[in-house]
Structure 1
Amino acid sequence: MSSILTNNGAMVALQTLKSINNDLSSTQSQISTGKSVATAKDNASVWAISKVMESDVKGFQGISDSLALGQSTLAVAASASETVTDLLTDIKGKIVAAQEENVDREKIQTDITALTEQIKSVVGAAQFNGLNLIDGSSTDDLKILSSLDRAADGSVSASNISVGRQNLSVTAPTSSASFGAGAPADQAAGNALIQAGTDNTDFAGTTYDGTNATSTITASGGTLTFDIGAVEEGSSFRVILDDVTVNVAGGGTSTGQRTFEYVASASDGTGDVAANLASQISSFFGAATNSTDGYEVAQGTGTNANQLTITNGSGTAMKVFTEAATGGTAGSSASSGGLGALSQIDVTSDSGATGALAAIDGLISQAVDASAAFGSAQGRLETQSSFISNLTDSLKSGIGSMVDADMEEASARLQALQVQQQLGVQSLSIANQAPQSILSLFR
């Protein structure tokens, strides 16, 4: 049945054309924006997920900046600590030279003072954007933002990499040790503090006069054992070695004397005193004597940790004098107050030179530990920075796979829809002309 009121063909053609035009508009939007999901109406769930991931990408880009700033700060601190280590090594060389006979210790001390000032300059300049990790101005760890962690429920928490500060300051106040003035009342009281000799009873409680020694260690493997018997804060111990074959500056040897002292702190035990004296004597033997002379010192182990034994393998006998006292002042340790103990180094005297030799190793160890700690932190930051970069790329790829348009498919679809649009227009035109045929019935 034909009707001039209802044109079903035109209605169908019109609906088809509208559908084609909608698809064509969507395809053109994909081509112009490059996205298949550009707004929430395109696909609400995918759009919501992509926006959350895009916010994470922005956050990780900020984290990359934080890591870069942290790496720069650490690079400055690491470079400075390594420079300080090198300067301390130079100071050790000067101290070793001061162990020899016939050297100008005053000039060596001048060089040490100059190197100490250089360390002070390096530490003061080791800042990045106003932050100095080695000047001892703070003990708080530096926290560097390293990640944003999103839980399954959508909550976000920040993660940090903590970097410990290192104190390499040479300006921290320190005090030098002061040997006690309280001499033991008698030999028994002296023996309670330190014993030396073949029978472990000899104790000399007066100043060594160059002749009267506690004991004499014969040549060719002769030994002498010390026992540290009791220690309390301020207990003072002195060991003097005489007739030691010491290297002379410029070559050759001579017979010399060296004094080794240690004043105990409240935390020291008998083993700590023995260890410190052994370290001083060992450092002196290594720096100022020839290995062929066979001078050695060893600390006991286990229950004998309070003992140290000196061995003489040289061609001449060695005199040994021991002294102990109470009421001394321990002073600052090498590890307290950063590198402040540098200010107490004085190689102008025998006892100062030997004490400095033992102290400098502790300071070098402190600087080496600082450099190693910064190096380890640098490795962590570099690894995290690389991970964040890769993670950001992965997130971007994931977002793209969800919302980016397939341009090859969109191009082909656009061509097909344009053809369909043209056919739809023609179809609608034909359908609209159909009622014209009814006029022929009325002619």
Structure 2
Amino acid sequence: MTSILTNTSAMAALRTLRDVGNRLSSLQGEVSSGLRVQNAQDNAAYWSIATTMHSDSKAVSAVADAISLGAAKVDTAYSGLVSVLDVMSDFKSKLVSATEDGIDKAKIQTELDQLKLQVTSIANSSSFNGQNWLNTDIADIYDVDNNSASVVTSFVRGQDGSVAVNSSETHLTATSLFNSTGGGLLQKDPRDITTIGGMRYLANSVIAGKPTQIWVPETANGYSAHFPFTFTGPMTFGAGNSINFNITVDKDNPADGIDPPYNPGKTTTVSITRATIDAVDPSLNGVISTFTQYRQVLSYALSQANTGAYATFVSDGHGGIVPDVISIGTLQNRAFGLDGSYVEVSGFSANGVSGGGLGNQFDQGVRGSKLTLDFTPFQDFRDGEDPDGITVSFSFAVNNMPAKTYSFDRTYVNSVLGTDTGKVETADQMVTLLNSLLSADWPTLQIESLSPSSVMLKTDPAMDRRAGSDTSVRFSNIKVSNEPLPLFDFMDIDIVENPDLVSDYLTYIETASQRITSGAAQLGSLQKRLELQADFTSHLMDSIDSGVGRLTDADMEEQSARLAALQTQQQLAVQSLSIANNGPQELMTLFR
């Protein structure tokens, strides 16, 4: 039906034309922007992801710039340390020259002074953007909370949506050559832990032919009872001649602090006759002419009687023996059930024999299960390389039992003593520290303070009545994590004023160079880390852009085809509308 009131064909064509126009407008927007998701109404989920990732991409780009800045700082510090190592090598060669006889040390010192100035120049110049890792100004360079320098390494978005910028830290104790308050690699280290509360002491020694002092662990060693006598001879034994005596070994010593009853030890009667001498050496014909012969006879007689004693020579301390001197001692044979260390000859009598030199005599062995420490306060300092501070390790044993190893650091000291300074300031605090380390493994050990300056470690006499050579309390294998310490400043080296210290200076330069090498190695590792992170960051930004593109970018080939199709549809819709509008005009001709 054709109506002059309602042109349904024109309405349909107009709707089609409008729809095609809207689609064509949207498509032209995609083609011109290159995005198929331009705003939230296009695709809320993709638009949200793209917006977030675009923001992250900008942040990662900023991190890339920060990595480049950090790498520049690391490169500057590394170059400075490597240059200093070259100077230190020259410095060392000059010191070696100074060891030659007849060399003019004043001229060499002039060269050394110039090298020292060069080191300070390098340290002062190794600055980037106002930051200098070789010449620092840190109030406490050993405080891990204050001695760190950081460089940005990455931007991270967590699964919960949180964001963070990660960084890598380096402790300036590893790179600082000179610090305003001391503690640089070329300065004295004031963190000398000295005797560690009395656990060790300085002793004179000779190393490589040079007198020096070394730290020696404190020990207390007991020794067995023995007494010497001087032989006089000859001694002639005929029929009926003899020497007789009683020998007592290993009775308890009340002075050791043990409780009664006291064991009287083992007493044996010994007789030496012509038959005894013949049993030892028939060729002697009963005549003992030398102290070596008498020692043989005594050893045989003491052994045959199962006395628990022995006869021996006395060392002269130089690999030889003292002429004419014989020693009688206890074997401390615990199979007798005796804990003491004692030897006594009593009731001595000679029947028709003169000489020999042996007579009534005794000696009490020493109990070594008691060690007194000369306590001096000490501090476990902070350490930039270890937030727990300096580590002290040592071995400890009682009565020749297998030693066990222990260690403590600043964190442990503070925990045990309830402080925050790492200081062990009183003898009572030292007792608390040692008890916390040792008591579980050594139940017979008693640790107590005798005075403000002394601490005693001893085994409980009620549980350990032993005395003699197999008793001891000993520290051993003491190691301190920050030792050896530099004992002077690099800038103070002067071979003219201190010609006797050239060897010490050489040792110092070697140690300092090793420490600088270690610092340069740490920076080298950080350089590699930053290089890898910069490369990763570049790839990461490309990956983010690519991923966002997959979500929002338009397929231009597809959109071009669609655009051509819509333009054709638009033309057809216009023609349809024109035809539909011409229909009523044609109808009007029927009424003319």
Does the alignment reach a TM-score above 0.5? yes
Tell me if 1:95 matches 2:95. yes
Superimposed CA distance per residue, residues 409-430 of structure 1 (whole angstroms, 9 cap, x where no aligned partner): 2222222211111110000111
Taking the TM superposition and a 5 Å limit, the aligned residue runs for 1:331-342 are: 335=485, 341-342=489-490
> 1:382: Cα distance to partner?
0.8
Q: Which SS does the other structure have where 2:489 is aligned?
A: helix
Counterpart of 1:346? Answer: 494
Matched AA of 2:570: Q
> Which of 156, 159, 162 is the matching residue for 2:166?
159
Determine if contact 2:137/2:179 at 8 Å carries over to the other structure. no
The structure 1 residue matched to 2:178, chosen from 164, 169, 189, is: 169
Q: How high is the sequence identity, in percent, across the aligned residues?
A: 37
Q: Which residue matches 1:420?
A: 569
Residue 378 (1) aligns with residue 527 (2): yes
Are 2:204 and 1:237 aligned?
A: yes
* 1:170/1:345 CA distance change after superposition, 3 Å: farther
Shift of 1:356: 1.2
Q: Which deviations, in whole Å up to 9, do the C-alpha atoms of 1:44-101 show, x marking residues without a partner? A: 2211110000000000011011101101111110000001111111111011112222
Cα distance in 1, alignment partners of residues 543 and 567 from structure 2: 37
Unaligned residue ranges in structure 1 (runs of 5+): 178-229, 242-257, 272-302, 304-331
Question: Offset at 1:136?
Answer: 3.5
Partner of 2:538: 389
* Alpha-carbon offset, residue 350 of structure 1: 5.1
Q: Deviations over 1:339-389 (max 9, x none)?
A: x62134333455311111211110110111111111111111111111111
Q: Give the root-mean-square deviation of aligned CA atoms.
A: 2.9
- Secondary structure (helix, strand or coil) at the match of 1:159 reads strand
C-alpha separation between the residues in 2 aligned to 1:123 and 1:154? 44
Q: Counterpart amino acid of 2:154? A: S
Q: Which amino acid letter does the alignment assign opposite residue 33 of structure 1?
A: S
Alignment length (residue pairs): 309
| Contact kept? 1:91, 1:112, Cα under 8 Å | yes
Residue 6 of structure 2 aligns with which residue?
6
- Does the CA contact (< 8 Å) of 1:127 and 1:133 recur in 2? yes
- Offset from partner CA, 1:117-170 (integer Å, 9 cap, x none): 110111111111110112132342112222221122222122111122222128
Contact 2:84 2:122 (8 Å CA) reproduced: yes
Deviation at 1:440, TM superposition (A): 4.4
Gaps of 5+ in 2: 142-146, 191-198, 219-396, 398-481
Say whether residues 1:368 and 2:517 are aligned partners: yes
Q: Give the number of the structure whose alpha-carbon radius of gyration is greater.
A: 2
Matched, 1:261 2:212: yes
Q: Distance in 1 between matches of 2:207 and 2:34?
A: 87
Contact 1:335/1:366 (<8 A) preserved: no
Q: More strand per residue: 1 or 2?
A: 2
* Change over 3 Å in CA distance of 1:56–1:392 after alignment to 2: same
Alpha carbons 2:486, 2:508 under 8 Å: kept: no
Partner of 1:141: 148
Which one of the candidate residues 564, 583, 586 is aligned to 1:434? Answer: 583
Cα distance, 1:240–1:351 mapped onto 2, change above 3 Å:
farther
* Structure 1 match to 2:30: 30
Higher relative CO (Cα under 8 Å, sequence separation at least 6) belongs to: 1
* 1:227-256: CA deviation from partner (whole Å, max 9, x where unpaired): xxx952xx3636498xxxxxxxxxxxxxxx
TM-score scaled by length of structure 2: 0.48
Which secondary structure does the structure 2 equivalent of 1:121 belong to? helix
Residue identity in the other structure for 2:588: L
Secondary structure class of the residue paired with 1:415: helix
Deviation of 1:434 (Å) = 2.0
Give the alignment of 1:108-147 within 5 angstroms: 108-138=108-138, 139=141, 140-147=147-154
1:15, 1:154 → 2: CA distance? 46
Per mean C-alpha deviation after superposition, the further-off stretch among 432-441 and 29-38 is 432-441
Compared CA separation, residues 126 and 334, structure 1 to 2 (3 A): farther
CA displacement at 1:269 relative to structure 2: 3.8
Do 2:136 and 2:179's aligned partners in 1 also have CA atoms closer than 8 Å? no
Give the whole-Å Cα distance in 2 for the aligned partners of 1:334 and 1:95: 21
Amino acid at match of 1:237: N
Give the direction of change, closer, same or farther, for the CA distance of 1:240–1:133 in structure 2 (3 Å limit).
closer
Residues 188-222 of structure 1 deviation map (CA, whole Å, 9 limit, x = unaligned):
xxxxxxxxxxxxxxxxxxxxxxxxxxxxxxxxxxx
> 1:236/1:117 Cα in 2 relative to 1: closer, same or farther (>3 Å)?
farther
> Which structure has more helix as a fraction of its residues?
1
Deviation at 1:29, TM superposition (A): 0.8
Q: CA deviation at 1:334?
A: 7.0
Q: Distance in 1 between matches of 2:118 and 2:9?
A: 97
1:358 to 504, 507, 510: 507
Counterpart of 1:401 in structure 2 is 550
**Residue 401 of structure 1: CA displacement?**
1.6
Determine if contact 1:334/1:359 at 8 Å carries over to the other structure: no
Question: Residue 136 of structure 2 aligns to a residue in which SS?
Answer: coil
Superposed CA offset, 1:305-331 (max 9, x none): xxxxxxxxxxxxxxxxxxxxxxxxxxx
TM-score (norm 1): 0.64
